[in-house]
C-alpha cells in the first residue's frame, strides 16, 4: 500500500511538511497541471508559464533525488482537469493507503480538500504549511481580545520571537520602524541595476508554447519571459538583490518612474510564494547584510518589515477572517472595472504605465499596486469582487491568502478598517511627488477642476464627500474633512459634476 503525496504549484519546496517522512521506495508524489487551477481566475499568461515551468523543473529535481514523481502535464492524455479528479483517477488504479498534502494557500481549495477523505474513502492527512514563520493559530492567539489588529504590533512580536534585528529586548537602532526614512522620490541621475534575468531553457520554451496554445484569451504578454524557474536561479535573484539593490531599497521603496518597473525592489515574491525561496533565508540574508555593513538600517528594517511583518500578518488575517472576509464591502462600492484595466488605454499616464507594466511583466511594485491602481479603485468605488478577481489574476505572485487582504483591506477599505486605520486615498499630488508620471500626462496635476484637471484630484474629494457618513468621524481623516467643511458649496458642486462626468464616460466606454 502506497502513500500518495500531492504537491501543488505553489508548494515547490523540498522540505515542505508533506514530503518530510517520505519513503522513497514506496511513496509517490503527484503533481498535475490542471485546467481548474489554471482557469478558476484567468491568470496572466506569464504567471501560468512561470508556474508550469517551475513545477516541471521541481519534479525533475525530486526525480533526481530518487523520489517517484507522477507528473501529469496539461496535455497528458490522462489529465482529469482538476486536482480532486486527478487523485480519484489515480486511486482507482493504484493501491493507495493514504494521501498526504500540505494545506493549500486558498480557502476554496482547503474547503474542497476537507471533503476528500469522505469522497474517496481514503485517509487524507492535511498538514500545516511549515514554510511560514507563524501559523494561523499563532495569529488567532495574538488577535484574541484585541480591539485593533494592527500589523505594527504583530511585527514587533515577530521580531522578538525570531530575534531579528534585536539588541537584547530592544530593537536595533532604538526604533522598531524606519518607515519615515523610506519615502524619497528618484533623483534624475540615479543608476538602477538591471533585474536578474534568465533566458528560457528548452523546457520553459515548451511551456510558453503550451500557454500560447491553451490560454491565448488570458490577460498579459508572454514576450520576454525571464523569471527564475528553479531554486538555484531564485537564489541568484536573491543574492543580486542583497548585493546590488538592498542598500537603496529603503530610500526608494515608495518611488515610481516611467519605464522603470523594477527599481530597487527585490522581485522575489514569485519565488517566496511558490516555495523556491523561504522567508527565513531571505530575512537572514538581509540581516547579514546589515551586520556586514553592506546596507543601512532603514533599508534592512524596511525590507524585513515587509517579509516578517506584512507577509506573515496578511496570511494570518486571511485565515482568521475567512470566509466572511471575501464578501466585505464596507463602502458599498459597486462600479464595474473600467475597460482600461484590461486594455491599458487611458490618458492618465500613471495608470497607463502601471497597467502596462502589469500587462507586460505580471509584476508591478508595491506603490504602483497601492497608490496608483489601488488608489483609483478606491476613489472610483470599484466593486471589491471585481477588483479582487483582477488582482488575483494579473500578478505572478498572487494567491488569495496574500492578494485578498491587500485588496479588500489595504486598498479598498472594504473591511471597514480591520487592516488599515484609514483608507489609502490620495489626490494627484501624491503621485506627482513620488514619480515622473505627471510630466508625461494628458492631464494637469495642478488643475483641480475642468476637462484638463487630473482626475485623481476631483475623484479624491468626491470620494470623501460620497463616503462622509462612513468616514467623516475617522480621526485620521480629520484634516481633509476639516478642509472639506471650509470648501464653498459651489466648489463642492464642481467637484461632484466633474466626477459624475468622468463616471459617465467610464460607463459609456469612452477613453478617459
Ligand atoms: P519588495 O518590495 O522587494 O518586498 C519584499 C517582499 O516583502 C515581497 O517579495 C513580499 O513577499 C513581501 N511584501 C511586501 N509587501 C507586502 C504586502 N503588502 N503583503 C504581503 N507581502 C508583502 N504580494 C504578493 O506576494 N502577492 C500578491 O498577490 C500581492 N497583491 C497585492 C495587491 C495589492 C493591492 C497591494 C497593495 C499589494 C500586494 N502585494 C502582493 C504586496 C506587494 O505589492 C508585493 O509583495 C511586492 O510588490 C512584490 O514585489 P517584490 O518582491 O519586488 O517586493
Ligand atoms: C496558480 C496555479 C496554476 C495556474 N496552476 C496550477 C496547476 O495546474 N496545478 C497546481 O497544482 N497548482 C496550480 N496553481 C497553484 C494553485 O492554484 C494553488 O496551489 C492554490 O491556489 C492554493 O494556493
Ligand atoms: Fe496621474 Fe493625474 Fe499625474 Fe496624470 S496628472 S499622471 S492622471 S496623477
Say yes or no: 251 and 167 in one domain. Answer: yes
Pick left, alpha or beta for residue 145 (phi over 0 → left; psi -120 to 50 → alpha; otherwise beta): left
Could you tell me the three cell numbers for 407? Answer: 485588496
Q: How many helices (H) and strands (E) does the chain have?
A: 25, 7
Cα–Cα dist 418/416, whole Å: 6
Give the tens place of pLDDT for each residue, 185-199: 999 889 999 999 999
Q: Is 386 exposed, middle or buried (0-12, 13-18, 19+ CB in 10 A)?
A: middle
Say yes or no: 415 and 470 in one domain. Answer: yes
The finding on whether 398 has its CB within 6 A of some atom of ligand 1 is: yes
Could you tell me the three cell numbers for 19? Answer: 514530503
Residue 488 above 90 pLDDT? yes
DSSP label at 185?
P
Closest ligand to the CA of 374: 1
Does 443 map to a domain?
yes
Does 185 map to a domain?
yes
Say yes or no: 110 and 158 in one domain. Answer: no
pLDDT, average across residues 79-97? 95
With bands split at pLDDT 50, 70 and 90, how would you rate the model's confidence at 179?
A: confident
Q: The domain spanning residue 388 has which CATH number?
A: 1.10.579.10
Say yes or no: 155 and 300 in one domain. Answer: yes
The DSSP code sequence of 292-321 is TTSS-HHHHHHHHIIIIIIIHHHHHHHHHH
Q: For the chain, how many structural domains are there in total?
A: 3
Q: The domain spanning residue 116 has which CATH number?
A: 3.40.50.620
Ligand 1: centre distance to CA 270 (Å): 9
What is the predicted pLDDT for the residue at 286?
98
Does 186 map to a domain?
yes
- Please write down the long-range contacts of 490-493, taking CB distance under 8 Å and 24 or more positions apart: 492/461, 492/465
% of the chain surpassing 70 pLDDT: 100
Does 463 map to a domain?
yes
Residue whose CB lies within 8 A of the most ligand 3 atoms, among 455, 502, 511, for a mutation test: 455
Ligand 2: centre distance to CA 39 (Å): 10
Ligand 1: centre distance to CA 91 (Å): 38
The finding on whether 348 has its CB within 6 A of some atom of ligand 3 is: yes
Ligand 3: centre distance to CA 350 (Å): 6
Does 326 map to a domain?
no
Residue 251 above 80 pLDDT? yes
Lowest pLDDT segment from 46-60, 100-114, 173-187, 328-342: 173-187
Residue ending a domain, among 77, 104, 127, is 127
Residue ending a domain, among 77, 101, 127, is 127
Say yes or no: 117 and 145 in one domain. Answer: no
Say yes or no: 40 and 71 in one domain. Answer: yes
Cα–Cα dist 239/33, whole Å: 30
Please tell me the pTM assigned to this model: 0.98
Ligand 2: centre distance to CA 425 (Å): 33
Say yes or no: 123 and 142 in one domain. Answer: no
The finding on whether 436 has its CB within 6 A of some atom of ligand 1 is: no
Say yes or no: 122 and 148 in one domain. Answer: no
Task: Tell me the three-class secondary structure of 205-239, residue by residue.
Answer: HHHHHHHHHHCCCCCCCCCCCCCCCCHHHHHHHHH
Residue in the structure block whose three cell numbers are 525571464: 226
DSSP label at 453?
B
Residue ending a domain, among 291, 321, 351, is 321
Helix (H) / strand (E) element for 124: namely strand 123-127
Say yes or no: 114 and 149 in one domain. Answer: no
* Phi, psi for 166 (deg, rounded to 5): -115, 150
Residue whose CB lies within 8 A of the most ligand 1 atoms, among 192, 265, 267, 269, for a mutation test: 269
Atom of ligand 2 nearest to the CA of 105: 23
% of the chain surpassing 90 pLDDT: 97
Say yes or no: 267 and 367 in one domain. Answer: no
Say yes or no: 351 and 278 in one domain. Answer: no
Residue 181 above 80 pLDDT? no
Does 249 map to a domain?
yes
Residue 182 above 80 pLDDT? no
Does 207 map to a domain?
no
Does 435 map to a domain?
yes
The average confidence (pLDDT) of the chain is 97
Farthest-apart Cα atoms in the chain, separation: 79
Say yes or no: 178 and 285 in one domain. Answer: yes
Give the tens place of pLDDT for each residue, 354-383: 999 999 999 999 999 999 999 999 999 999
SS3 call for 473: coil
Domain extent for 419? 340-507
Q: The domain spanning residue 237 has which CATH number?
A: 1.25.40.80
ipTM of predicted complex:
0.99
Strand order in the sheet with 69-72: 69-72, 28-32, 2-6, 96-102, 123-127
Q: Is 23 exposed, middle or buried (0-12, 13-18, 19+ CB in 10 A)?
A: exposed
The finding on whether 411 has its CB within 6 A of some atom of ligand 1 is: yes
Amino acid at each position: 500500500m502506497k502513500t500518495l503525496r500531492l504537491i501543488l504549484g505553489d508548494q515547490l519546496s523540498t522540505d515542505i511538511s508533506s514530503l518530510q517522512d517520505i519513503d522513497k521506495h514506496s511513496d509517490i508524489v503527484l503533481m498535475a497541471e490542471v485546467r481548474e487551477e489554471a482557469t478558476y481566475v484567468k491568470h496572466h499568461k506569464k504567471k501560468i508559464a512561470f508556474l508550469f515551468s517551475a513545477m516541471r523543473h521541481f519534479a525533475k529535481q525530486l526525480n533526481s533525488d530518487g523520489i517517484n514523481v507522477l507528473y501529469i502535464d496539461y496535455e497528458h492524455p490522462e489529465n482529469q482537469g482538476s486536482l480532486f479528479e486527478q487523485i480519484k483517477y489515480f486511486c482507482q488504479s493504484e493501491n493507495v493507503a493514504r494521501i498526504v498534502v500540505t494545506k493549500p494557500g486558498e480557502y476554496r481549495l482547503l474547503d474542497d480538500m476537507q471533503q476528500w477523505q469522505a469522497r474517496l474513502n481514503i485517509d487524507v492527512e492535511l498538514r500545516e504549511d511549515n514554510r511560514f514563520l507563524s501559523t494561523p493559530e499563532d495569529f488567532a492567539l495574538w488577535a484574541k481580545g484585541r480591539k485593533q489588529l494592527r500589523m505594527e504590533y504583530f511585527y514587533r512580536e515577530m521580531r522578538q520571537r525570531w530575534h531579528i534585528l534585536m539588541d537584547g529586548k530592544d530593537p536595533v537602532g532604538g526604533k522598531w520602524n524606519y518607515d519615515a526614512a523610506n519615502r524619497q522620490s528618484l533623483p534624475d541621475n540615479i543608476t538602477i541595476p538591471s533585474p536578474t534575468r534568465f533566458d528560457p531553457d528548452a523546457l520553459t520554451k515548451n511551456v510558453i508554447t503550451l500557454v500560447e496554445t491553451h490560454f491565448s484569451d488570458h490577460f498579459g504578454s508572454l514576450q520576454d519571459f525571464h523569471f527564475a524557474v528553479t531554486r538555484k536561479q531564485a537564489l541568484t535573484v536573491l543574492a543580486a538583490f542583497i548585493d546590488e539593490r538592498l542598500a537603496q531599497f529603503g530610500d526608494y521603496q515608495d518611488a515610481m518612474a516611467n519605464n522603470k518597473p523594477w527599481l530597487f525592489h527585490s522581485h522575489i515574491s514569485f519565488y517566496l510564494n511558490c516555495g523556491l525561496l523561504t522567508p527565513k533565508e531571505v530575512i537572514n540574508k538581509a540581516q547579514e547584510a546589515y551586520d556586514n555593513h553592506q546596507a543601512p538600517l532603514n533599508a534592512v528594517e524596511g525590507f524585513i518589515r515587509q517579509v516578517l511583518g506584512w507577509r506573515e500578518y496578511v496570511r494570518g488575517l486571511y485565515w482568521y477572517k475567512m470566509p466572511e472576509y471575501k464578501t466585505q464591502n464596507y463602502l458599498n462600492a459597486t462600479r464595474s472595472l473600467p475597460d482600461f484595466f484590461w486594455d491599458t488605454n487611458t490618458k492618465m499616464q500613471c495608470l497607463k504605465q502601471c497597467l502596462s507594466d502589469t500587462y507586460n511583466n505580471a509584476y508591478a511594485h508595491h506603490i504602483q499596486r497601492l497608490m496608483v491602481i489601488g488608489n483609483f479603485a478606491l476613489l472610483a468605488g470599484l466593486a471589491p469582487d471585481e477588483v479582487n478577481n483582477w488582482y488575483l489574476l494579473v500578478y505572478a505572485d498572487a494567491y488569495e491568502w496574500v492578494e485578498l487582504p491587500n485588496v479588500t483591506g489595504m486598498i479598498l477599505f472594504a473591511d471597514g478598517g480591520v487592516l488599515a486605520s484609514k483608507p489609502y486615498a490620495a489626490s494627484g499630488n501624491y503621485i506627482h511627488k513620488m514619480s515622473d508620471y505627471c510630466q508625461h500626462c494628458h492631464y494637469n496635476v495642478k488643475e483641480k477642476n475642468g476637462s484638463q484637471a487630473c482626475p485623481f484630484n476631483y475623484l479624491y474629494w468626491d470620494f470623501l464627500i460620497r463616503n462622509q457618513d462612513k468616514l467623516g468621524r475617522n480621526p485620521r481623516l480629520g484634516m481633509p474633512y476639516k478642509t472639506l467643511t471650509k470648501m464653498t458649496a459651489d466648489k463642492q458642486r464642481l467637484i461632484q459634476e466633474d466626477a459624475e462626468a468622468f463616471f459617465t464616460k467610464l460607463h459609456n466606454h469612452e477613453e478617459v
